[in-house]
Amino acid sequence: MFLFDERYATFEMFSPSHLIPVLLTLAAVVLIGVFKKRLSASPRFDRIFRLAFASVTVAMEFVFNFWVIAQGGSAAVFVPFGLCTLSMYLTAIALVFRSDGLSKVVYPWAVAGALLSLVVADLAYDVPHFRYSHYFGNHSMFLIANVYMLSTSRTAFTYRHLMKSCAILLAIAVPMYFLNGVLGSNHMFLAELPSEVAFMFDWMGSPWWVFGFGFTIFVLFHLVSLPFLLHRGTRVKA
């Protein structure tokens, strides 16, 4: 099938096919902020949005996993060890059950992880390959979904929620660091960073770059949470 044709392994960073989905994602986030009251006032739209985003992201992830296996990859691809994959599945659960509590835990991971993945695209395939659609589609959708969930939530996102989110991720990352050493894997980029950002931390040496990377993620979590922390008093009326 042409959607899986290896001839499309021609992706280039900051080309139009890279920048366009990034800009569209940012535009969607802005529109959610502008129209959040109207969006939250429509239960029908809310249900359709949540179920559609949850269904599409999970379906695309499963197709991607089967493609990886067909390419000779391991069935372990179905285990959500990566931060973005874990965020995607938890976002889908939060969407289906309208769980504001879960979305507040996942929000910093999902938005920070998706932003990094969109800007520093770890991708080989361009349009119209399925992997291109999966990569930009899923990262964009779970980013947009988390912004939507918090924007239309009836309870505020507080600094306590941010610290809880950081603590849970740390509890996952520490054993994952050692698991990478056992499996020879690179889950959460705790064994090796992508070359596009590795230069920022190489000067620290091993294993200290891991702490520098972790602190950078901690700061990024604060930055992506800032809009909701600053406007936590503005909530949609029940």
pLDDT, tens digit (0-9, with 9 covering 90-100), for 31-70: 998 988 888 888 899 999 999 999 999 999 999 989 988 8
pLDDT above 70 covers a percentage of the chain that reads: 96
Report which of residues 79 and 4 the model is more confident about.
4
Nearest one of 147, 128, 130 to 53, comparing CA atoms: 147
pLDDT at 236: 40
pLDDT at 74: 74
For the stretch 135-183, pLDDT in tens is 999 999 999 999 999 999 888 899 999 999 999 999 998 888 888 887 7
pLDDT at 232: 58
**pLDDT at residue 228 greater than cutoff 80:** yes
* Nearest-angstrom CA–CA distance, 162 and 222: 8
Q: Pick the range with the lowest mean pLDDT from 65-74, 112-121, 139-148, 202-211.
A: 202-211
pLDDT at 57: 95
* Nearest-angstrom CA–CA distance, 166 and 222: 10
* Nearest-angstrom CA–CA distance, 169 and 37: 31
**pLDDT at residue 202 greater than cutoff 80:** no
**pLDDT at residue 237 greater than cutoff 70:** no
For the stretch 77-104, pLDDT in tens is 777 778 889 999 999 999 999 999 999 9
* Nearest-angstrom CA–CA distance, 159 and 164: 9
- Asked if residues 104 and 157 have their Cβ atoms less than 8 Å apart, the reply is yes
Three-class DSSP category at 236: coil
Three-class DSSP category at 112: helix
- Name the burial class of residue 96, with classes exposed (0-12), middle (13-18) and buried (19+) by CB atoms within 10 angstroms of its CB: middle
pLDDT at 87: 92
Neighbours of 114 (CB within 10 A): 27
For the chain, how big is the Rg over CA atoms in Å?
A: 18
Question: Which DSSP string corresponds to 170-206?
Answer: HHHHHHHHHHHHHHT--GGGSS---HHHHTTTGGG-T
Which amino acid is located at 73 in the chain?
A: G
**pLDDT at residue 188 greater than cutoff 80:** no
Average pLDDT value for residue range 98-119: 92
Dihedral angle, C-alpha 7, 1, 138, 95, nearest 10 °: 180
Report which of residues 233 and 206 the model is more confident about.
206
Distances (CA, A) of 61 to 3, 12, 76, 80, 142: 15, 23, 13, 10, 12
* Nearest-angstrom CA–CA distance, 131 and 127: 9
Residue positions counted in the chain: 238
Report which of residues 182 and 10 the model is more confident about.
10
| Mean of per-residue pLDDT scores for the chain | 87
